[in-house]
Amino acid sequence: MKNCDRCFLAAPILYRVRYDESGLWFFVCLKCWESLSKNNPLYAYGGTWKARKKK
Q: Residue 35: its pLDDT value, please?
A: 95
Residue 41 in this model has a pLDDT that exceeds 80: yes
Q: Where are the beta strands (DSSP E) in the chain?
A: 2-3, 10-11, 13-18, 26-28, 44-50
For 5-41, letters b (16+ CB in 10 Å) and e give bbeeeebeebbbbbbeeeeeebbbbeebbeebeeeee
pLDDT digits (tens, 9 = 90+) for 4-32: 999 999 999 999 999 999 999 999 999 99
Q: Residue 34: its pLDDT value, please?
A: 96
- pTM listed for this prediction: 0.86
Sorted by where each begins, the domain ranges of the chain are 2-50
